[in-house]
Amino acid sequence: MRRLYAIDEGAAALGLFVGQKATDATALVPDLRLEEADPGADADALLVLCDWCARFSPAAAPDPPAGLFLDITGLAHLWGGEAELGQDLIVRLARSGVATAFAIAPTPGAAWALARFGPSGAIVAEGELAQSLAPLPIEALRLEAEAARQIARLGLCAIGDLAGLERPALARRFGQVVLERLDQALGRATEALVFRRPPTPWLARLALVEPITAPDDLARVAVDISRQLCGRLEERGMAARRFELGFHRLDGEIPSVRLSLAMADRDPARLARLLSPHLEKIDPGFGVEVVTLLAGEVEPRPPRALRLDGEPTSAEALAPLIDRLVGRLGEAEVWRAEPYPSFAPERATRRAPPLSAPAQATWDPERPRPLRLFSRPEPIEAVAPIPDDPPVLFRWRGLAHRVKRSEGPERLAEEWWRRPFAAAAPERIRDYYQVEDEAGARFWLFREGLYDSGPPPRWWLHGVFG
Amino acid sequence: MSKAERLQRARARIAALGKDDISVAGVLAFGDPRVDARLPGGGLALGRWHEAAGEGLEAETAATTAAFVSLLAAPLATRGAVLWVLRRDDLYAPGLCGLGFPAERLIQVKARNDDAALAALEDALGQSGVAAAIGEAEEIDLTAGRRLQLACERGGATGFVIRRRPFGGRTKAREAALAAASCWRVAPSPSVPEPGDPGLGPPRWRVALERCRSGGSGAWIMEKSHGAHPLRVVAELADHELAATPAWRMAG
């Protein structure tokens, strides 16, 4: 049976309601325009709207089907107050044709209830929570429709009516979830929202009087906003490792620049310098109206860490270089190799951030390991007349090498715990040999498999020694 | 004026001309007069940049050159950070560790092309706190070389450039970089294990000093050692010995 999924104001005025049979509705209003509901597209649109809200708070969580949570803790001062923030949000959404109601409250549950069932634009402070929620209907508690109906059938119409009842009785009668929702709304229980981005007070925001498009203007606001956020970081003795500069365009798109630094920093001049080469990739479209700068991985930092002799510490001295290299080549291209406990040679190292403290453990210098390891072993044609001996002759990349000396084998078995037990087989055993040809060049060869079982063994070259 | 006096004066003038070629940052002596005598100041000039190249397949794998350079740079690692600008991500830290190089502190950088590699190398050399920076590049022209030199002078770091051809690249006639303080050619050399040892001896290299500013040239067989300098001279080669034994032969 087809029912109405959502209606607009005009339809509501004609007496139609959500959940009504479609046939009944068309009987009442013959020229009613019906569209197929598409919940998937609605959810996608909600996510887009959620990301758009980054201009108000980095911590925005979608609340399907048609709600959004914004954590605006510590951010309202950027607008001059909570009421102004809310008004700005409503006006901007209305301009894009989205009708919205909002409420600001200390808990997500209370804000949800007030936005839907309370006075429009309600702003509730910590102390007035219970009082302002009391007259709202039971549905405002975000309950299953059935549970809400059951409570209403007992003559309990408002949230305030529940407050007088004994908690154990309430839980027994209507389920634990009713108590939980009540506690969440009143701030007696915490509620974890899944934000698109973690909430942070480290957000700076510049609302521009006139939308800007010129590259020079973008560069200038980047400097201004860096100064603003870095000033606040400095005041609190903090510094950040990650920054995200977002340009909120008139059309709702948010092209942004992400920076990650080798060491936490708060120098606005340096930040602006690192941001500036990326600004040319920003497409301002028809204009940028709001600019936000978000700091991540914020950590305390004393004014300046100096060694006793006044020289900056080595990591601090290198940080600018690492940041320049990362900016030019990409974050994945600058690293420090770190030992990783694995028998497989290709997994014995792991990439670590370049300026992190080196691990205490290191590789065993006594095991022969090549200086250049090929990411993929290369097949070689080998003449190995004696089983379990290295080849006497092999051909690699068109050149024949006569083996003069060798050491080995070093047997490295496959790490069987990485695969299903049945897949571990003798042909996955590798016997590594270090061989030297007549010119003195050294190679790291291995034979895959055993002579007495499985398919015939194959020879590979995995690396070259210096 | 006697002949000896004239000779003396001429030597002084030559020394004065080459004054700016003798590094102010000091030298790192090999500890063997057979090598140190060929180098100005009696050792590898610090605060300069040096070039190392290999031939044949070595020009592509750059393994012996990497081993040689890492041993030259190892004593510098105690003075500050060491960076290695790679063209391929194939430098294997456990292998470096086996050569006695503090690989766990090495900062590795991978660049997409020669220009990016040389720019990163230049940037690293100019940074205070960096003791040595090693870069891999196929070509290095005079301008890029001069820029590296200026960066070395600014930061006091010592640079190394490993000439490396991309895999499968065409062989080009290699010209030693003119701006380098010294140019080395490195090839593998058969090791000599202890008598009675069936395995391999310490790695050996055939090292030729092709060109050196205000210095000479020469060729030696060097071996990895545990002494004061990580390289030990085993024998000095005469010029004809170097020419007679090509490091690589085509076999077919």
DSSP annotation of A404: E
Residues 6+ apart with CB under 8 A from B186: B52, B53, B54, B58, B64, B65, B67, B68, B205, B206, B207, B208
Beginning with the edge strand found earlier in the chain, give each strand of the sheet holding A372-379 in spatial order. A372-379, A458-464, A442-448, A430-437, A399-412, A393-396, A381-383
State the Cα–Cα distance between residues B18 and B131, nearest whole angstrom.
Answer: 25
Which pLDDT does position B159 carry in this prediction? 95
pLDDT band of residue A303 (cuts 50, 70, 90) is low
Q: Measure CB to CB from residue B199 to each of A324, A407, A439 and give the nearest one.
A: A407
What was the pLDDT predicted at A221? 92
Q: What's the gap in Å between the CA of B250 and the closest CA on chain A?
A: 6
Is A405 near chain B, with CB under 8 Å?
yes
For A444-461, how does the pLDDT look when each residue is reduced to its tens digit (9 = 90+)?
A: 999 887 777 667 788 999
Do residue B190 and residue A358 have CB atoms under 8 angstroms apart?
no
Q: What share of chain B is helix, strand, coil (3-state, %, to 5)?
A: 35, 25, 40
Tokens 């070039």 correspond to B51
A407-438 pLDDT, tens digit per residue, is 888 888 766 666 665 555 555 788 899 999 99
Residue B249 has pLDDT above 50, yes or no: no
Q: Which two tokens stand for residue A369?
A: 């390991």
Backbone angles phi, psi at A235, to 5 degrees: -55, -40
Residues of chain B neighbouring A368 (CB-CB closer than 8 A):
98
Upstream peptide bond of A65 is cis (omega within 30 degrees of 0) = yes
Compare CB distances from A442 to B130, B188, B250 and report the shortest one's residue. B188
Q: Tokens 């903090």 label which residue?
A: A238
Contacts of B101 in chain A (CB under 8 A): none
Mutation pick from B72, B101, B107, B226 vs chain A, by most beta carbons of A within 10 Å, is: B107
On whether the CB atoms of residues A118 and A136 are closer than 8 A, the answer is: yes
**For residue A463, what pLDDT is reported?**
93
Buried b or exposed e, range A42-59, using 16+ CB within 10 angstroms: eeeebeebbbbbbbbbbb
Residue from the list B105, B106, B191 with its beta carbon closest to the beta carbon of A440? B191
Which residue of chain B comes nearest to A366, CA vs CA? B98
Is A339 in a helix, a strand, or coil? strand
Buried b (16+ CB within 10 A) or exposed e, B149-182: bebbbebbbbbbbbbbbeeeeeeeebeebebbbb
Look up the pTM and report it.
0.68
Cα separation, B11 vs A396, in Å, equals 53
Question: What's the ipTM?
Answer: 0.86
Q: Report pLDDT for B124.
A: 94
Q: Residue A457: what pLDDT?
A: 83
- In Å, how far are B3, B10, B13 from B6, measured between CA atoms? 5, 6, 11
Distance from B190 to chain A by nearest Cα, in Å? Answer: 4
Q: What is the pLDDT of residues B109-125, one digit of tens each?
A: 999 999 999 999 999 99
Least CB–CB distance from B80: residue in A314, A338, A368:
A314
- Contact assignment for A436 to B190 by CB distance below 8 Å: yes
Nearest-Cα distance to chain A for B181, in Å, is 23
Nearest CA of chain B to the CA of A375: how many Å?
A: 7
What residue type is B43 in one-letter code? G
Pairing mode, if any, of strands B49-53 and B182-189? parallel
Residue A83 has pLDDT above 60, yes or no: yes
Contact call for B107 and A373, based on CB within 8 A = no
Q: Is the pLDDT of residue A358 over 70?
A: yes
Q: Mean pLDDT score of chain A, rounded to an integer?
A: 84
Between chain A and chain B, how many beta carbons pairs sit less than 8 Å apart?
Answer: 176
pLDDT number for residue A77: 78
Chain B contact present for A350, CB below 8 A: no
Cα of first residue to Cα of last residue in chain B, in angstroms, is 65
Say which of A336, A397, A440 has its CB closest to residue B107.
A336
Residue of chain A whose alpha carbon sits nearest to that of B118: A325
Predicted pLDDT at B248 = 46
pLDDT in tens, B30-71: 989 999 999 988 899 999 999 999 988 888 899 999 999 999
Integer CA distances (angstroms), A185 to A72, A105, A182, A335, in order: 17, 9, 5, 47
- Minimal CA separation from A462 to chain B, in Å: 11
Measured CA to CA, the distance from residue A86 to residue A89 in angstroms comes to 5
CA distance A406 to A79: 75
Check whether B29 has a pLDDT greater than 50: yes
| Structure token pair of residue A235 | 């005041």
Cβ contacts of A173 within 8 Å, gap of 6 or more: none
Task: Report how far Cα A161 is from the mean position of its chain's Cα atoms.
Answer: 42
| pLDDT tens for each residue of B129-140 | 899 999 999 989
Question: Which of B60, B104, B165, B207 is most worth mutating to test chain A (most A CB atoms within 10 A of its CB)?
Answer: B104
Which has more pLDDT, A212 or A155? A212
